Every structure is written in structure tokens, then in C-alpha cells.
């Protein structure tokens, strides 16, 4: 029963980590959408300023400086909000350039144990994990980690 309990407990921990990572990614997605919406508003406001400047200097229409100043302040406000959202997104440390498999390992807190590898596929393995991250093979046999994980010396022998 001990091995089964360990497996169930390990699965429960991994599920919790996956859920946390999913929430983090959803939060990042929402922040990206908010930034895009602010960018659209900023672009619209800049177009409006451009039209007013064109009206003032090309068409000779009377456009008050206060109107231009207010619109410029709105643009600055959008930029400030976008910077805040970007900083929040950066704090999540969501790296979109990393392959999905590496993101999963990082999100799950996967770290290999130096000198240990999977007995099935010989990929680097972690002594405290129940399964190989590469092939999914069990790293534990009857509760013994050392029986299933091959110790590799630094010189490769």
C-alpha cells in the first residue's frame, strides 16, 4: 500500500502544480488582452490628436491647446497603465519562447538529480520523482529509488 499511497500523493502534488500553472497562464492571457485593449485606445487617441493637429495647422481651424494637452495626458495615462500591466505580467515569469515540455517541467518544479538517469530511456532523472519526465516509466521499484535509477559517474562510466 505504501507505493500506491506515494503514487497517489505524487499525482496530487503534480495536479496542484498544473492547476497553479494553468491559473498563472490564464492570468497572463488576461493581462495580455488588457494591454492590447489599452494599446487600441492609445492608438485611437493618437489618431484623434493627429486629426486635431492637422485641422489646426493645415486647415487653419481653431483647436485649443488645452484640448491637445488633455488628449496627450490620456495617451500618457494609457501608457502608464500598460507599463503596470506589463510589470505584473513579467512578474508571472511566463516565457512563451520555451517549449511546452520545458514549461511543464519548470512549472512542476522539475530538477534532475546529478548523476541519475531513467533506467528505461537514460534521460536525466530526479531521485525524488516517481516517473521519468521523458518516457513516463516508473523510477521506483517496490519503493526503492536506487534499484531503478542508474548512477552515472562524471566521466560517463
The answer on 139 and 98 residing in a single domain is no
Measured between alpha carbons, how far is 68 from 6 in angstroms, rounded to an integer? 66
Which one of 65, 83, 103 terminates a domain? 103
The answer on 126 and 94 residing in a single domain is no
The answer on 88 and 28 residing in a single domain is yes
The answer on 124 and 90 residing in a single domain is no
C-alpha cell at 19: 492547476
Measured between alpha carbons, how far is 74 from 76 in angstroms, rounded to an integer? 5
Distance of CA 95 to the CA centre of its chain: 5
The answer on 93 and 116 residing in a single domain is no
Selected residue with higher pLDDT from 25 and 73:
73
Name the domain count of the chain. 2
Write out pLDDT tens, residues 78-99. Answer: 999 999 998 888 887 644 445 5
Q: What is the pLDDT of residue 152?
A: 45
The answer on 116 and 48 residing in a single domain is no
DSSP conformation letters of 17-61: HHHHHHHHHHHHHHHHHHHHHHHHHHHHHHHHHHHHHHHHHTS--
The answer on 133 and 93 residing in a single domain is no
Which residues constitute the domain of residue 127?
Answer: 112-157
The answer on 129 and 90 residing in a single domain is no
Q: What is the pLDDT of residue 59?
A: 93
Cβ atoms < 10 Å from Cβ of 79: 13
Q: What is the pLDDT of residue 94?
A: 46
Residue 109's φ and ψ, nearest 5 degrees, are: 75, 30
pLDDT beyond 80 at 150: no
C-alpha cell at 49: 490628436
Q: What is the pLDDT of residue 64?
A: 93
Determine the average pLDDT of the residues in 49-53: 95
Distance of CA 71 to the CA centre of its chain: 35
How does residue 126 score in pLDDT terms, banded at 50, 70 and 90? Answer: confident
The answer on 156 and 93 residing in a single domain is no
Closest CA to 94 of 43, 40, 157, 32: 32
Selected residue with higher pLDDT from 111 and 114:
114
pLDDT beyond 60 at 151: no
Amino acid at each position: 500500500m505504501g507505493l500506491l499511497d506515494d503514487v497517489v500523493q505524487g499525482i496530487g502534488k503534480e495536479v496542484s502544480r498544473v492547476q497553479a500553472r494553468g491559473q498563472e497562464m490564464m492570468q497572463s492571457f488576461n493581462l495580455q488582452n488588457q494591454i492590447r485593449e489599452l494599446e487600441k485606445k492609445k492608438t485611437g487617441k493618437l489618431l484623434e490628436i493627429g486629426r486635431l493637429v492637422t485641422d489646426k495647422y493645415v486647415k487653419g481651424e481653431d483647436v485649443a491647446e488645452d484640448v491637445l494637452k488633455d488628449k496627450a495626458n490620456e495617451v500618457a495615462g494609457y501608457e502608464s497603465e500598460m507599463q503596470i500591466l506589463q510589470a505584473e505580467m513579467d512578474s508571472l515569469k511566463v516565457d512563451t519562447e520555451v517549449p511546452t515540455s520545458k514549461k511543464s517541467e519548470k512549472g512542476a518544479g522539475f530538477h534532475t538529480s546529478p548523476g541519475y538517469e531513467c533506467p528505461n530511456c537514460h534521460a536525466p532523472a530526479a531521485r525524488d520523482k516517481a516517473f521519468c519526465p521523458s518516457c513516463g516509466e516508473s523510477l521506483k521499484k517496490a519503493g526503492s529509488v536506487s534499484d531503478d535509477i542508474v548512477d552515472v559517474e562524471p566521466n560517463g562510466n
